A and B are shown apart, each in its own frame.
Chain A
């Protein structure tokens, strides 16, 4: 079953860094798995926990939130707020028993196309043995 399974990853990428980072990976023709659905948000600090829960409810197998490195935020401190909030979301999802591998956060700057591809590659590799995420998913 897990052999053919291709996980779906929803990635919330901040417009100023991670989104540009993924663009760089694209224009540099770097190869990485096509499992990601990127959603550009204005700042990682604008990612509400609702977005994350809803992504899981709508069938995401993994969710990635990616923003600028600390100190590089376009809005000065958005990613610091995100860091706190995402830590709490992570604790909560862990607590109700969702596999902790399914939810990740990363710092990817606009110059780090390679890092972005590495993150996605590793994420897909980790998600494959877990199989589809059915816990929070709707309609079943």
Chain B
């Protein structure tokens, strides 16, 4: 079991010693449901840090933000950032190091093991409670959550409300850390790719109908891109803006600028955008599920990424984020890569 006091103590210690410029962690959410990310700069504030199954966010995005901010500063603060990570988030850090976006020394990682559990899915809890407001949520004995509403306490088995990604998680403890809290317990995952199984087993026509219905909904708010720790390009191919338009720019020059995807939320453009995003995340997505959580129109975006994760695992024996010293999926190859689809 992860002791919250230990985490707070360690955070306090590293802040006191000046090892880190601040610690990014979770604190109690205003709605008492999901936790809120918190930046702690002073040692006396570390008591705000919490750890429970409502800590759903992937905080690694804030490291990316900080790195980008520092790169624009005249005098960048190069001290490391302290960060609280779960197993999945730690793999995101691994990928960022692998891609040389950050150095290992840029982060001080406080790793938390999810042990037998994981994080909850807000939507699943909301369904269970039939619209009642949550006042408090906590763990009881191992497999139960106690959720208090104004009508009293309700016991919910954790398995019923765990996020899908947690049920399919291969490593629920950090793979890279400076301090580990909790234990690296073994957990059997019977169906690591359960969520895509249904879609995969359907006929192409059914699959197309499913995705057509889903992707037609997309309003192109780019929330999935904004929240993704791997989407750190300064300029995105989906809305490239790097053409300097001056008074001398001719209409022809403007017209000839390649636009891979139009901005209109038409089906074809939406599919183009989501396919490109999925491909750009192939071998990089660590399945934190943030894109799906952030999506305002509930597109099951995780499935696209999970599919490519599965392809990478099955075709190329590549598991994302476990070793930052290995070359990445797309920048490497093996002689024995499958080529039965090539004539």
Contacts and interface: CB of A to CB of B under 8 A. Distances in A.
Interface residues of B, number: 43
B308 A96 contact: no
Interface residues of A, number: 38
Most buried by B among A53, A90, A106: A53
Most buried by B among A84, A99, A107, A138: A84
A97 B341 contact: no
Given A84-B333, A100-B204, A136 B268 contact: yes
Given A54-B260, A80-B333, A95-B200, A88 B207 contact: no
A90 B341 contact: yes
Contacts of B330: 81, 84-85
Nearest to A139: B268
Contacts of B329: 84
A138 B266 contact: yes
Contacts of B271: 53, 96, 135-136
B195 to A, nearest CB: 12
A31 interface: no
Contacts of A128: none
A95 B208 contact: no
A121 interface: no
8 contacts: A84-B329, A87-B338, A95-B200, A95-B207, A96-B275, A97-B212, A138-B266, A139-B268
Most buried by A among B237, B278, B315, B316: B278
Interface in B313-343: 315-316, 329-331, 333, 335, 337-339, 341-343
B198 to A, nearest CB: 12
A136 B207 contact: no
Contact of A105 (B237, B260, B341): B341
